[in-house]
Amino acid sequence: MKKEFSIRHRVAFSETDMAGIVHFSNYFRYMELAEAAFFAKLEEELIHREEGQVHGWPRVRASCDYKAPISFGEEVEIVLMVKEVKVRAIEFAFAMYRVENGERGEKIARGKLTTVHVVRHTGEGVHQMESMTISDTFQEKLKEWTG
């Protein structure tokens, strides 16, 4: 069984549409909130700047399936699972749940993100990204979450 990492988030008014329901695009934001918290837990950086270079994790694939609406003021639990670690990429799976009486309740969405470790060389007129191997140190940390 894969190990889960989760965070909770209270839906802000700015995340909703005119009906007070979370706009579909914010589910991707929720996945990124969980991803950033996961990286922080593992003491890894999502973005690292060095002189002339920026290392990061752009998305190459993202999807979300919606099961039930969630509204302004409700709390959502975002669960992250490491689906697969490749040489240069990580595939994450997510499940989002309504929090009811402090407990995980109804599933409201599920999603996937595939991110690739890249370096972008900076400077005038330079916009090219190049994929990079995930460090051995980070791969070791991720092993705990893929079992």
Residues 52-103 pLDDT 10s? 888 999 999 999 999 999 999 999 999 999 999 999 999 999 999 999 999 9
Copy the structure tokens of residue 91: 């595939």
pTM: 0.91
Best CA proximity match to 111, nearest among 26, 36, 45, 42: 26
The domains located in the chain, with CATH, are 5-146 (3.10.129.10)
Copy the structure tokens of residue 93: 């799976």
- Say whether pLDDT at 51 is over 90: no
Residue where the block lists tokens 């791969």? 139
